[in-house]
Amino acid sequence: MENIEANFLSRNCPSCGKHSLTEQAIFSCPKGESLNFAEIKSYWSGFFKEKVFFTYRRCDCGLLYCPTYFTESQLQQLYKSMADNTAGVELNALKKTQHGYFKALKKYSPLTGDYLEFGPDIGLFTDYGLKEGQLNRFWLCEPNKDVWPVLEAKVQGHPYHLMQDMQNCKSCLL
C-alpha cells in the first residue's frame, strides 16, 4: 500500500510546538495515513469491524497526539451531513451519559462566564449548561449543519453564536 500522507495535514505538537516524535504509540491496520482521503472516508461514519485511524505518536514532551490529520476542507466534507452516530442508543441513556460528564465538569468549573463547546451535536451536554450554569453567552462550533435547528431551539432566549468550522470559531473568539 502506497503511503500518501501528503494528502493530509502534518501537525506539530499542540503542547510544545515541536515536531520531535518518538515511537508510534497507537495505530490501526491499515494505518489511516497509508490510505487516500476517499478510502479513509469510508471508515469515518458508522460502525465497522475494522477501525482505521491516524497513528498516534508520543512527542518528546510527553504528549500523545496524531501528527497526521485531516485538512480543514476534508473535515468539512466529513462532518457536513454526518449521519447519527449514536448507534440507536436510547435518548434517555445518552442524556444520562452527558449528565455524568457534566457533573464531572461541575467539580472543576464555577459554570459562569462564556461557554464554548466543540461538536455539541444536538446539544445534550449544552442543555445542562443552560439549566445548571449561570453562563453569559454560548459559543457552539458544530460542523453538521443538519443539527443546527435543534441547537438553535435549545439556546433560544440566550446569547449564542453558532459556527460551522474551527477557523470561524477561532476568529470569533479573538
- State the residue for C-alpha cell 494528502: 7
pTM over cut 0.75? no
Q: How many CB atoms lie within 10 A of CB 34?
A: 19
What whole-number distance in Å separates Cα of residue 129 and Cα of residue 111? 7
Residue 170 has pLDDT above 60, yes or no: no
Residue 59 has pLDDT above 80, yes or no: yes
Residue 51: band (very low, low, confident or very high) from pLDDT cuts 50, 70, 90: confident
Domains identified in the chain and CATH numbers:
5-70 (no CATH), 91-173 (3.40.50.150)
pLDDT at 120: 92
Q: Which helix (H) or strand (E) holds 69?
A: strand 68-69
